[in-house]
Amino acid sequence: MPGLIGKKIGMTSVFDGEGRTVPCTVIEVGPCTVTQIKTVEKDGYRAVQLAFDDKNEKHVTKAMIGHFKKANTTPKRKIVELKGYVKDWKQGDIITVDYFNDDTWLDVSGLTKGKGFQGVVKRHGFGGVGFVSHGQHNRQRAPGSVGASSYPSRVLKGMRMAGRTGGNKNKQINLRVVKIIPEENLLLLKGSVPGSKGSYLIIEK
């Protein structure tokens, strides 16, 4: 199996063996429940479906309640299907953060923080107008010209403009494992990971 589901708790810092402070992200990893095993014979491909984070049964549809009962588990908030797993897990198995005990480097993917509708200066790093004299009025953060007039008489596709920013899938690779706290299902990785506190992450080997 390539990875597990986790939840971003926040950031902290720890001291290494040489007394240097190391900025870390704290992630709650698992326990994840195997809710379904996909096989080549039945589904056409090989994958494992994991579920994480308990959810109140009254907020779950009857179809999903039946799906979780097949795995003999309570309803979960997050379900992820992962391909390329190696171990022969069975439906109903519970996997904890101990799965990463032998790993030194991990990849983490998640959704970046949503920033809402933003202008070109914040969204694309435009410099804006660098002067405010000679009659310049209110164009400091404007995008400037977006195309010619007579030809092609339209705005070309891909033009960088203002728009909704953030909320994109992002992956941070080769993050060093600083510490694993199995009794609390916590994983400390050096550096930052995408998403806000409480957002779900995929931690991969």
Tell me phi and psi for residue 3, to 5 degrees. Answer: -175, -170
Same domain for 113 and 194?
A: yes
Enclosing domain of residue 20: 3-118+169-204
What amino acid occupies position 100?
Answer: F
Same domain for 149 and 188?
A: no
Same domain for 159 and 186?
A: no
Token pair of 130 as six digits: 């660098």
Number of domain units in the chain: 2
Same domain for 152 and 179?
A: no
d(CA 43, CA 25): 37
54-109 residue pLDDT tens: 999 999 999 999 999 999 999 999 999 988 776 778 888 899 998 888 778 999 99
d(CA 4, CA 84): 13
116-167 residue pLDDT tens: 999 999 999 998 776 777 777 777 888 888 988 899 999 999 999 999 999 9
Same domain for 127 and 102?
A: no
Same domain for 99 and 44?
A: yes
Same domain for 73 and 149?
A: no
Same domain for 114 and 155?
A: no
Same domain for 179 and 157?
A: no
Same domain for 98 and 135?
A: no
DSSP H helical ranges for the chain: 40-43, 62-70, 120-124
